[in-house]
Structure 1
């Protein structure tokens, strides 16, 4: 695996590599998206570019290459096909279509499994989980201490351990990461 570190020089190299692969200028947001997804791994960047081209998610918009649902992408075409026939499709047809699009769902399932792996790696105690849940509700350390019958200092220590285990330094990032990893439910 060929990787580059996160320096600006490495990003410039990756940007040039991606631009060369596509044979033309690439929108800044698309370059950032591909950089973030590949983290400088040129083989992974190549696979992402190739997959994006095959699915029609990476397409020219004007003079620039952009990532996003193009009107003729596979996902858009299949969605339109199913929606246009929704009232006449039989259960057997729906099951067959579901089997046919399963490969498109594979990456989503793999991403979810990776998130679960990350969530499993974060070993929270039951009390830390309680504190995290109350942090998600927006309660202060004082309010959490009252609700759980703990001292404010104890709650603050639980928060510090949570932040350390999640690799964050503040409440907002801890809550957002915990929601993204599925450790706590996202608020609607």
Structure 2
């Protein structure tokens, strides 16, 4: 399946990943099993965070963690839909991420998979809003935190996306974006 994703830089130099399709729809709930199946296509891929030059791997644990984490279970409405559809732009979200921060691992259950701690990066993406005719009228912008685990093997792996926040001040009309 072809992904319809662009990276656009605004006047302030902020890069935003524009995702032009809504694959995961739901009035009340998202089918997280479908999201998990979609994510499996990324397993084994390697991406570089441009701001820090860090290499990030996509491990086999990502699909399950992403779709079934405690954070995912509490999501409802727009934020659940945003997290589900963000998977389409994962490569670009990793590449434009910035604001790297580090936290030690304090949980025994992560002694191997996050032996050297956790990194968090900020990233940004946009999802379309459609009118009654199926035409894109505008894009909603979301800020997220990309959680990276630094494993015993010395590699960094994408673990989850959390803290999804819709921006209220930024509005992109569909004609603002070249598709």
For the aligned pair, the TM-score class normalised by the smaller chain equals: under 0.3
TM-score (ref. length: structure 2):
0.25
The structure with the greater share of residues assigned to helix is: 1
The structure with the greater share of residues assigned to strand is: 2
TM-score (ref. length: structure 1):
0.24
Larger radius of gyration: 1
